[in-house]
Amino acid sequence: MGIEAVFAGPELLSILGLGISTTLVMILLGFLMGITVGATPGLAGPMVMAIALPILISIFGFSQDAFLPVMGFLIGIMKGATVGGAVPAILFNTPGTPDAYMTTLDGHPMARRGQAREALRVAHFSSASGDTFSDVVLVLCAPFLAVLVERYLDLPEKTGLFILSLAFIAAVIGNSVGKGLISMGLGLLAAMVATGEDFYPRLTLGVQELSGGFPIAAAILGVLILGEVFKALEDLRHEKRDGAKPQRAPATVEAQRPIGLTRLFPYILRSSVIGTAIGALPGIGSTLAATLGYTSAKARHTRTKAPTDPDFGEGAPEGVAATEAANSSVSGANLIPVLSLGIPGNTAAVFLILGMESIGGFNPGPGVFRVPGDGINPELVLAFGLFTAMFVTNGLNWTIGGLFMRAVGIMSRVPKDVLLPVVLLLTLTAIYVQETSMAAMWVAVAFGVLGYLMRRVDMSPLPFVIAFILGGKLEETARQAFSATGGDPLFLFTNPLAAVFVALSAIVILLNLRRRG
């Protein structure tokens, strides 16, 4: 039924008498936009997902029919941006997205040797392979994990699982466990403002405008997008003042012998496994996946390469393949914690959850995969619709992705000093359109300042955002668990599995503290 919901949903157009559903068209548009965005240094998939969301909701409304077209578009952007990030990395030595940095190390030397077309072909093939692998794992694992959670975890254990996820995110993101915890504490605090069960809106200092809490879109877009824009503009200003210019050696295109893709299979497979495993863990992003995939491939390549083959860092196609397979295989797997636990793992997943919550009717978490005794669980249909959308995007990636990648190389030339202010205005407008309140724009700017300061002191804003999203759910689950255990204040320690989760939270923090400080 999920497949049917995608292919046989409301029809948008007809080609040769064959009806094309709105969802399919939206997936295609999102995917093409994603590649374009990825190919534009300074833009990132989540930025465009955030800007697009209010427009999509305005077009499709809040009904259940809106869910798959909107989410299909967002998934298309998420996947397309990862593929597109390789284009400027290879052609101009400028990663379009942070996770494409490692692609520059071998992709650009290949391009300078006259193998630009081949490097793009390798990047596309590896990216599409990694993406497909990850989606297969998603479909196999997410329902299984959700059923396990639903069957074996009661309210105290679910509370413990939330705590473990937050502890993991705070401990592994960024350079310092302490800063991760500060970021998370601030996010939880922001989530607590004006919520709660009392008539009086707590922590508002009596400010009437805060009595509804912080608008979720304004806070998230402020920290993630405006904070990044403020920082990137300052970096540009310093670059201009210091006279630093990005290294941009033009790529040359010469006729070269095509690179056999079969020799890349071991690298692609290993990186796909690494990327999928990392994507499934909340809080660890595609940049780390790319780094680990590249490092692991480098060790293998050094052992097995022929004397005439280029080393890693000197234009080895294996380097491009390993990086692209690893960063692309994150995008499917990061939906595993989203769909099975309701926990976003990275920035793109944050915006997918924001989309789901904005439309309503779909509460990501183990309940999604519940099979009722009679009738149909509409959330289950939508979940399988999402899986179908992921595979449709893969199909597009395999068929037209490579072609479109080569066409968007021009986007690398859009100057960042023009792009960033435009992104800022678009973001502020998107927030206003969604909230219809000037106060929301001010809130976004305030959170943007917070995001800027966090980045300047090397504190990741992602634990803040994830804690802000999960704070309400954590408190609600804890309240229910407390009531269900008859007011036992030690419910987290008297239930064995909950106690294990809490103990694991402490261990994760202590281990990371020993490792990184």
Q: What's the min distance (Å) between Cβ of 459 and other proteins?
A: 8
CB of 210 to other proteins, least distance (A): 11
Question: CA triplet 126, 267, 403: central angle to 5 degrees?
Answer: 15
Given candidates 204, 296, 358, 377, which one binds other proteins under the rule CB under 8 A?
A: 204
List of residues 6+ apart from 68 with CB closer than 8 A: 5, 6, 9, 23, 382, 385, 386, 389
Nearest to other proteins of 58, 63 (CB atom): 58
Shortest spacing between CB 36 and other proteins, in angstroms:
16
- Least CB distance to other proteins at residue 236 (A): 5
Binding span for other proteins by CB under 8 A among 102-110, 267-275, 317-325, 471-479: 471-479
CB-based contact 264:128 (threshold 8 Å): no
Residue type, 449: V
Three-class SS of residue 398? helix
How many Å apart are CA 378 and CA 357, to the nearest integer? 15
Which positions ≥6 away from 351 have C-beta within 8 Å?
A: 46, 49, 50, 53, 74
Site residues (CB under 8 A) for other proteins, limited to 30-59 = 54-55, 58-59
Helix or strand (DSSP H, E) at 288:
helix 286-304
What residues numbered 212-231 form the site for other proteins, per CB under 8 A?
230
* Segment lying near other proteins (by CB under 8 A), choices 133-141, 314-322, 345-353, 480-488: 480-488
Among 2, 19, 114, 178, binds other proteins (CB under 8 A): 178
Q: Which is nearer to other proteins, 35 or 420 (CB)?
A: 420
- Is there binding between residue 177 and other proteins (CB under 8 A)? yes
- The two tokens of residue 423 are 């992104």
Left, alpha or beta for 342 (phi > 0: left; psi -120 to 50: alpha)?
A: left
Candidates 91-99, 102-110, 249-257, 446-454; binding stretch for other proteins (CB under 8 A):
446-454
- Asked if 174 contacts 515 with a C-beta cutoff of 8 angstroms, the reply is no
**Of residues 309-368, those binding other proteins (CB under 8 A):** none
Please report how close the Cβ of residue 193 comes to other proteins at its closest, in angstroms: 9
Distance CA 383, CA 75 (A): 13
Q: For residues 231-260, which are near other proteins according to CB under 8 A?
A: 233-234, 236-237, 240-241
Task: Tell me how far, at minimum, the Cβ of 323 lies from other proteins, in Å.
Answer: 27
Give min distance, CB of 205 to other proteins, in A.
6
- By CB under 8 A, the count of residues binding other proteins is 76
Q: Please identify, using beta-carbon distances, which residue of 108 and 455 lies nearer to other proteins.
A: 455
Residue from 196, 212, 395, 409 that binds other proteins (CB under 8 A)?
196
Interface mask (CB under 8 A) for other proteins, residues 398-437, using x and -?
------------------xxx-xxx-xxx-xx--xx--xx
Using the CB atoms, write b or e for 371-397: b if 16+ within 10 Å. eeeeeeeebbbbbbbbbbbbbbbbebb
Indicate which single residue of 147, 182, 261, 504 sits in contact with other proteins (rule: CB under 8 A).
182
C-alpha–C-alpha distance, residues 312 and 472, integer Å: 47
Point out which residues pair with 21 in neighbouring strands.
11
For residue 479, how many other CB atoms are within 10 A of its CB?
A: 14
Q: Binding to other proteins (CB under 8 A): which residues in 110-149?
A: none
